Amino acid sequence: MERHPALRSRLRDGDGKLRPSVLFFLNSEDIRAKDGEATPVSDGDTLTIVPVADGG
């Protein structure tokens, strides 16, 4: 997030934790099913960030 500091408040809450309303996929797999934000990222991996739409 050093390269895009404006994203910090959209991706993390006030305690610095990843927001539950944002999903993070590494190569189509939810990182929360892996090691969370400690999941290693390698060259060639694709990180997809998806905001969850609330409401009905």
Instruction: Give the tens place of pLDDT for each residue, 7-52.
Output: 999 999 999 999 999 999 999 999 999 999 999 999 999 999 999 9
Confidence band of 54 (pLDDT split at 50, 70, 90): confident
Which pLDDT score is estimated for 56?
65
Domain membership of residue 22 (yes or no) is yes
Domain membership of residue 5 (yes or no) is yes
Kindly report the pTM of this predicted structure: 0.79
Number of domains in the chain: 1
Domain membership of residue 21 (yes or no) is yes
Domain membership of residue 8 (yes or no) is yes
Which pLDDT score is estimated for 40?
95
Which pLDDT score is estimated for 2?
78
Taking residue 6's Cβ as centre, other Cβ atoms within 10 Å add up to 7
**Residue 26 near residue 45, CB atoms below 8 Å:** yes
**Residue 19 near residue 11, CB atoms below 8 Å:** yes
Number of Cα atoms under 13 Å in the Cβ half of residue 2: 0
* Domain coverage including residue 51: 1-35+45-56
Domain membership of residue 40 (yes or no) is no
